[in-house]
Chains A and B, each alone.
Chain A
Amino acid sequence: MREQREFTKKSGNWMEREARLAYFLLAPAIILIGGLILAPVTGTLFRSFYRDVTFLPPVKFIGLLNYKHLLTDVNFLQSIRFTVLFTLVAVFLETVIGLFFALVINEEFKLRGLMRAIVLIPWAIPTIISAKTWFLLYNYNYGLFNFLITKLHLSAKPINWLGTSYSAFFSIVMADVWKTAPFMAILFLAGLQSISKELYEAAEVDGASLTSQFTRITLPLLRPVLTIALIFRTIDSLRIFDLIYVLTGGGPGGATTSVSMYGFKLYILGDFGYGSTVSVVTFILVLLFTLIYLRFGRFGESL
Chain B
Amino acid sequence: MTDKKKKQLFAWFGSLMVAFICLTPFIWMIVVSFAKYPDFLASENIPYVFTLGNYVQVLTSKDLHVLDYFKNSLITAFVVVIATVIIASLAGYAVSRIRFKGKQAIILGILAVSMFPQVAVVGYLFELMAKIGWINTYYALIFPYIAWVLPLSLWILISYFMQLPKDLDEAAMIDGASRLQVLAKVIVPVAAPGIFSTALLTFISSFNEFMFALLLTTDYHTRTIPVGIALFEGLHGEIPWGQIMATSVIAALPLVIMTLIFQRYIVQGLTAGALKG
Binding site for B on A (CB under 8 A): 15, 18-19, 21-23, 25-26, 28-30, 32-33, 35-41, 43-44, 47, 97, 100-101, 103-105, 107-109, 111-112, 115-134, 136-137, 141-144, 147, 178, 182-183, 186-187, 189-191, 204, 209-210, 225, 228-229, 232, 235, 238-239, 241-242, 245-246, 259-260, 263-264, 267, 272, 275-276, 278-280, 282-283, 286-287, 290
Which among A141, A239, A246, A287 is the interface contact of B230 at CB below 8 angstroms? Answer: A246
Residues of B within 8 A of A147 (CB): 41
With A18-B100, A28-B87, A279-B117 already in contact, the answer to whether A33 and B147 are too (CB < 8 A) is yes
- Ordered nearest first, which 7 A-B pairs have the shortest CB separation? A104-B14, A40-B124, A107-B11, A124-B259, A36-B147, A128-B226, A19-B100
Binding site for A on B (CB under 8 A): 3, 6-8, 10-12, 14-15, 17-19, 21-26, 28-29, 32, 38-42, 87-88, 90-91, 93-95, 98-101, 106, 109-110, 113-126, 128, 143-144, 146-148, 150-151, 154, 179, 204, 207-208, 210-211, 214-215, 225-227, 229-230, 232, 241, 244-245, 248, 251-252, 255-256, 258-260, 263, 266-267, 270-271, 274-275, 277
A-B contacts besides A109-B11, A126-B208, A178-B22, 11 pairs, CB < 8 Å: A21-B179, A44-B121, A123-B259, A126-B252, A132-B230, A189-B267, A229-B274, A239-B117, A259-B119, A263-B123, A267-B123
Q: Which of A109, A124, A189, A190: most chain B CB closer than 10 A?
A: A124
Residues of B within 8 A of A235 (CB): 114-115
Which among B11, B100, B229, B260 is the interface contact of A104 at CB below 8 angstroms? Answer: B11
Contact B143 A36 (CB under 8 A): yes
CA distance A132 to B241 in the complex (A): 9
B interface, over-half SS? helix
Which among A21, A134, A228, A259 is the interface contact of B274 at CB below 8 angstroms? Answer: A228
Residues of B within 8 A of A124 (CB): 204, 252, 255-256, 258-260
Contact A125 B150 (CB under 8 A): no
With A41-B121, A126-B207, A272-B123 already in contact, the answer to whether A121 and B256 are too (CB < 8 A) is yes
With A107-B11, A132-B229 already in contact, the answer to whether A241 and B118 are too (CB < 8 A) is yes
With A186-B271, A190-B271, A290-B115 already in contact, the answer to whether A25 and B90 are too (CB < 8 A) is yes
Contact B25 A133 (CB under 8 A): yes
Contact A126 B99 (CB under 8 A): no
